[in-house]
Amino acid sequence: MAAKNYPVPTENHGMTYVFVYATLFFVNALVLYFAHLWFPTQVVMGTVSLSQLWATILVSSKLALIGILTMPFFTAWEIKRKEILTPLHWLAGYLLINVTSIWLLSRFSEVYGLGITSWVVALSLGFVLNLVQGFAMMGFNVSPNK
């Protein structure tokens, strides 16, 4: 048996990211499903070869992945500015990220199966995603200002 040369970790920050990804995925899927259900002429999920379910899974997973991958940039911004970001900063940043991500994913609608009618729909969907994600993420307290 190998000798212990380091202390046993007391926290597992990697698992936090797994739970955050799962939460973001679930929240994104729910919002996209209801957006398509309530506004089928503005938000289209699926293509001729991609079902609505798979399109929802693909887009939700990409949005969750983008959300997870941008978290370290917020920390880098805090370090650079030497101040802790407030929840309002996080919400404003993720609003920009969500709107941009939805618009970009809809540009590749043949691959991901997300179609939107205009940038106003991307803005509205990004705003709703931002609110729901914000409420869901409050339980994790993933911002470094714990």
pLDDT per position as a tens digit, 40-71: 999 999 999 999 999 999 999 999 999 999 98
Q: CA angle at residue 16 from 10 to 17, to 5 degrees?
A: 135
Backbone angles phi and psi of 45, in degrees to 5:
-115, 125
pTM (predicted TM-score): 0.84
Q: What is the pLDDT of residue 144?
A: 43
Q: What is the mean pLDDT of residues 140-146?
A: 51
Confidence of residue 92 (pLDDT cuts 50, 70, 90): very high
State CA 81 to chain mean position distance: 24
Q: Is the pLDDT of residue 142 over 60?
A: no
Q: CA angle at residue 76 from 87 to 136, to 5 degrees?
A: 35
Q: What is the pLDDT of residue 146?
A: 44
Confidence of residue 138 (pLDDT cuts 50, 70, 90): confident
State CA 108 to chain mean position distance: 18
Q: What is the pLDDT of residue 3?
A: 60
Q: Is the dihedral of CA 112, 118, 122, 125 positive or negative?
A: negative
Q: What is the pLDDT of residue 11?
A: 73
- DSSP-derived 3-state class of residue 115: strand
